[in-house]
Structure 1
Amino acid sequence: MRHFPIFLDLRGRRVVLAGGGEAALAKLRLILKSEASVTVFAADPAPEIVAWDAERKLRLVKRAFAPGDALCASLAYAASEDDAEDARVAGLARADGALVNIVDNLEGSAFITPAIVDRDPVTIAIGTEGAAPVLARKIKADLEASLPASLGLLARIGQGFRAAASALPMGRKRREFWSDFYFSKGPDALGKEGKVGAELALGDLLIDHLHGTQTKGRVDLVGAGPGDPDLLTLKARKLLDQADVVIYDRLVSPEILELARREAQMVNVGKKGFGPSTKQEDIGAAMVKHAREGAHVVRLKSGDPGVYGRLDEEIDALDAAGVEWGIVPGITAANAAAAQIGQSLTKRGRNGAMRFLTGHDVKGFAEQDWTSLAKPGQVAAIYMGTKGARFLQGRLMMHGIAPDTPITAIENVSRADTRLIASTISRLPADLDAARPDGPVILMLGLAPRAAAAQLPALQEEFA
């Protein structure tokens, strides 16, 4: 992020602009929506600027910009539509200590003016750092169409009521009150009885929430998917936006954690195979503690919570404590891995079933039905199998699997730094040692990347 988005308080602060044409008018239409003290320098100003000066919406100085004109100014705009003149103005304004924007000159500007959706006091700023202005305009148009004109009035009514609403405890209870007003009671009262009706409804609503029953905490056990935030379910995204506390695993990607509510308490309970881990009983205790305090807890698990996520143990802990819970499934790594290599998990004539296996369990390397797995055409997704690759290879070859059976290792499935390691049973340990994967890896037994799979018959014929 090159340009950090902020909202600058311009009440009574000085803003200067040099220019009197169309570029200046476009900027002034935005600036004049603020409470800034605006001065325009233009030898030949447009009639609109002259009219604004007469209406005392700004101060017009009919001459070119000069040294000292930006003294004590917070912002300065160079909008003369002449590169040399704009560069001169920018140099003078910088010398006076102002932040400078040169219209249509990203590199020469210290700040940029975003596209704005105005529902005062609700303001939405949209910026693309100059990369795609047409995209910013499209987003602005979509937002303009979706946000009712009454939104600003509701926000102003609510703004005047914030001190009274502080009688409600912070967190979920207060959020529920405001959600009830802005998305239900407020719009309904405003539409029927206008501003006075909405104000009365707000007071009645506060009384209802103050004397309502104590908010009960709950825990949602949510699948975060394999890492790509676009693969997160809509329900998971909604719950992340509501959560007071997010208790998350090590494998949940930073991009998904970014989607949590900014005020949410983030609790890392990461586990690492053959490394430091949070005890399972401590995770259960943390969920229960926060829920008993009235918090909405999201227990965020990589992939799907029901696939090697110790889901049952966590539900047992919640049931024992009498805590309400729900499960939100997620896309497990096997589904994302198969999609990434262009293969299906089941295929007519090849395999009518597929297996989800773990490479190790609490007793060490996990034993499986090796005889069945070694048969031709078998497909299995093997989680946590990297450390046990030699064990896996030995067991399968001992039970007669063909050495050239494909097996694909996918590191960081679905993420930007994903990596495919296409291998065979005979080469698997050596290929993994050479690749030295550092992220989570899933092994797809019986599947090769589609492009490689298409070449297998030719390769087998060549080496026959």
Structure 2
Amino acid sequence: MLYPLFADLNDRHVLVVGGGDVAARKTAMLLKAGARVTVGAPVLAPELREWVQQGRIAYKPGAYRSDWLDGTWLVIAATRSRPLNARIAADGQARQRLVNVVDDAALSSFQVPALIDRSPLLVAISSGGAAPMLARRLRERIESLLDPAWGSLLQLAQRYRARIRTRHADLAARRRFYDWLHDGPVHAQLRAARPAHAEHRLVTALSDAAAPAASGSVALVGAGPGDPGLLTLRALRALNEADVILHDALISEPILDLARRDAVRIAVGKRAGGMHTPQDSIHALMLEHAQAGKRVVRLKGGDPFVFGRGGEELDVLREHGIAYEIVPGITAAVACAAYSGVPLTHRGHAQSVRLVTAHGQSSSNTLDWRELAQERQTLAIYMGVGQLEELTAQLIAHGRAASTPFALIENGTLPQQRTLTGVLGDLPALAARHAIEAPALLILGEVAAQADSSHWFGELLGESRSQTAVPPAVLADAA
């Protein structure tokens, strides 16, 4: 078992033996820690040469000599020769120097861990050299949970530590204050890149006679189109911090499974012919839980501000003085098009893209059909499965050619995705023949024809297609 420690190398001498790219990476980390680095090697990589010229590092040219270790605190052996690395390790042991031999745990007297850097917060992961790839994978997971604002928060707390201890001499009261500092408006302001506001909230809290009360907040979070892999890191962090999650009907179980286990989940979906939660009820739930001091996530499919009524919910939060943040998501038009191999814009076919909703019986009466029927643009039509006949008739009547290609994507980005292709004049009949159901997104325009050749995910449907499409690259790999 290794003994974990964090070494203070500020202004201390460290030797790096080796002049290649690996040595440069190790040197960069040491410089960041404030070490006085000497690199020894016959030849240096360009980056190391530049640092020598800038005076940032010292240089010992030529072949390694054991007296290079004199005066050093620790040593990094980053040469390509195992016998040479073994000699450096033996010299270090004889002189009681800590030596790390890159990618050779047997020769090393210390390991360099996988690191998550939120300075001054550092999280280090080590497998003792047994499984460095696993350590890197764990680092990636933890990295996704720690937002960059933690570093700024710790720096702020460090500056005010003495005042916090004086203001809250009682340990229990101090712990409650730190809980507020970590979970409340100060951290939220830092996440929003408003450090002056954050410091003001902290100073105000230290000046008030009463301890700061827990304050609730709401995050309007876009969950993307359904594939959990398309969640943003910020959305994942919000799910892991939430006390209450108000989620749409189309949010997939795999996405909800990523949320904090003890979070209260409330379904507030709207689906035609099924469960329907009035928007006013959603507003009331947001306010109820936020005003009770809870961290609420309003989890929406796609993006909150693209046909997600996020603007209405934002107005309510502002009106009632509720702290909020908006976490954008990948909207269905972008994701479904990508998963079907359709570029929404193309220099030869479409210089613009329009996002349109066809939801509701009155929608068709408010759309500018003449503008929508213009050529050399892509239409991405949301929630239009129930109005395909009306959409087709209006577009053709206003000048869009019946031969215009379309791609109708059902359950986009999910394992059950199906992409139906054809031309506008055949759209209603083809959709009925293949029993396309909501949720589905319609892409109309010349670019949609590329789905026939570039489609790579899910099932491709059409007049003569009933098999799952396999990209040419995949076929080549299997051959």
Compared CA separation, residues 366 and 261, structure 1 to 2 (3 A): farther
Q: Look up the match of 2:198.
A: none
Q: Look up the match of 2:448.
A: 448
Compared CA separation, residues 366 and 387, structure 1 to 2 (3 A): farther
Distance in 1 between the 2:230 and 2:398 partners?
38
When the two chains are superposed, the root-mean-square deviation of aligned CA atoms in Å is 3.6
Counterpart residue type for residue 450 of structure 2: R
Q: Look up the match of 2:299.
A: 300
Distance in 1 between the 2:134 and 2:451 partners?
42
**Identity of matched residues, %:** 40
Deviation at 1:360, TM superposition (A): 2.5
Distance in 2 between the 1:251 and 1:309 partners?
12
Distance in 2 between the 1:400 and 1:146 partners?
52
SS of 1:343 mapped into structure 2:
coil
Are the counterparts in 1 of residues 340 and 454 from structure 2 also a CA contact under 8 Å? no
Distance in 2 between the 1:436 and 1:338 partners?
20
Compared CA separation, residues 350 and 292, structure 1 to 2 (3 A): same
Pairing 1:206–2:171 present: no
Q: Look up the match of 1:96.
A: none
Deviation at 1:437, TM superposition (A): 2.6
Deviation at 1:267, TM superposition (A): 0.6
Distance in 2 between the 1:300 and 1:250 partners?
10
Distance in 2 between the 1:144 and 1:371 partners?
54
Q: Look up the match of 1:350.
A: 349
Pairing 1:388–2:357 present: no
Counterpart residue type for residue 318 of structure 1: L
Q: Look up the match of 2:330.
A: 331
Query: Unaligned stretches of 5+ in structure 1?
Result: 1-123, 127-135, 149-179, 189-199, 460-464
Deviation at 1:208, TM superposition (A): 4.1
Distance in 2 between the 1:354 and 1:374 partners?
12
Compared CA separation, residues 391 and 215, structure 1 to 2 (3 A): same
Alignment of 1:269-280 (within 5 A): 269-280=268-279
SS of 1:427 mapped into structure 2:
helix
Distance in 1 between the 2:403 and 2:290 partners?
52
Pairing 1:412–2:411 present: yes
Are the counterparts in 2 of residues 359 and 366 from structure 1 also a CA contact under 8 Å? no
Counterpart residue type for residue 339 of structure 1: A
Deviation at 1:144, TM superposition (A): 8.3
More off after superposition, 241-250 vs 360-369: 360-369
Deviation at 1:146, TM superposition (A): 9.5
Compared CA separation, residues 270 and 146, structure 1 to 2 (3 A): closer
Alignment of 1:21-420 (within 5 A): 140-142=134-136, 205-206=174-175, 208-209=177-178, 212-361=211-360, 363-420=362-419
Counterpart residue type for residue 326 of structure 2: I
Deviation at 1:324, TM superposition (A): 1.2
Counterpart residue type for residue 251 of structure 1: L
Deviation at 1:377, TM superposition (A): 2.3
Are the counterparts in 2 of residues 224 and 331 from structure 1 also a CA contact under 8 Å? yes
Distance in 1 between the 2:306 and 2:140 partners?
39
Distance in 2 between the 1:362 and 1:215 partners?
44
Are the counterparts in 1 of residues 225 and 412 from structure 2 also a CA contact under 8 Å? yes
Q: Look up the match of 1:425.
A: 424
Distance in 2 between the 1:145 and 1:257 partners?
22
Q: Look up the match of 2:112.
A: none
Counterpart residue type for residue 388 of structure 1: Q
Deviation at 1:348, TM superposition (A): 1.7
Q: Higher Cα Rg: structure 1 or 2?
A: 1
Are the counterparts in 1 of residues 349 and 377 from structure 2 also a CA contact under 8 Å? yes
Are the counterparts in 2 of residues 245 and 295 from structure 1 also a CA contact under 8 Å? yes
SS of 1:377 mapped into structure 2:
coil
Compared CA separation, residues 141 and 306, structure 1 to 2 (3 A): closer
Deviation at 1:448, TM superposition (A): 2.3
Counterpart residue type for residue 206 of structure 1: R
Are the counterparts in 1 of residues 369 and 398 from structure 2 also a CA contact under 8 Å? yes
Deviation at 1:439, TM superposition (A): 4.1
Compared CA separation, residues 359 and 137, structure 1 to 2 (3 A): same
Counterpart residue type for residue 450 of structure 1: Q
Distance in 2 between the 1:445 and 1:412 partners?
17
Counterpart residue type for residue 452 of structure 1: D
Compared CA separation, residues 146 and 339, structure 1 to 2 (3 A): closer
Compared CA separation, residues 233 and 144, structure 1 to 2 (3 A): closer
Deviation at 1:141, TM superposition (A): 4.2
Compared CA separation, residues 441 and 144, structure 1 to 2 (3 A): closer
Deviation at 1:266, TM superposition (A): 0.2
SS of 1:436 mapped into structure 2:
coil
Distance in 1 between the 2:354 and 2:451 partners?
23
CA-to-partner distance for each residue in 1:7-55, whole Å, 9 max, x for gaps? xxxxxxxxxxxxxxxxxxxxxxxxxxxxxxxxxxxxxxxxxxxxxxxxx
Compared CA separation, residues 344 and 367, structure 1 to 2 (3 A): same
SS of 2:235 mapped into structure 1:
helix
Compared CA separation, residues 235 and 454, structure 1 to 2 (3 A): closer
Are the counterparts in 2 of residues 340 and 414 from structure 1 also a CA contact under 8 Å? yes
TM-score after normalising by structure 1: 0.54
SS of 2:370 mapped into structure 1:
helix
Deviation at 1:313, TM superposition (A): 1.3
Deviation at 1:449, TM superposition (A): 5.0
SS of 2:385 mapped into structure 1:
coil
Deviation at 1:273, TM superposition (A): 2.8
Are the counterparts in 2 of residues 407 and 444 from structure 1 also a CA contact under 8 Å? yes
Deviation at 1:137, TM superposition (A): 5.5
Counterpart residue type for residue 234 of structure 2: K
Deviation at 1:275, TM superposition (A): 3.9
SS of 1:448 mapped into structure 2:
helix
How many residues in Structure 1 have an aligned counterpart in Structure 2? Answer: 280
CA-to-partner distance for each residue in 1:85-134, whole Å, 9 max, x for gaps? xxxxxxxxxxxxxxxxxxxxxxxxxxxxxxxxxxxxxxx9x9xxxxxxxx
Query: Unaligned stretches of 5+ in structure 2?
Result: 1-124, 143-149, 159-168, 180-209, 456-462, 464-479
Distance in 2 between the 1:405 and 1:453 partners?
17
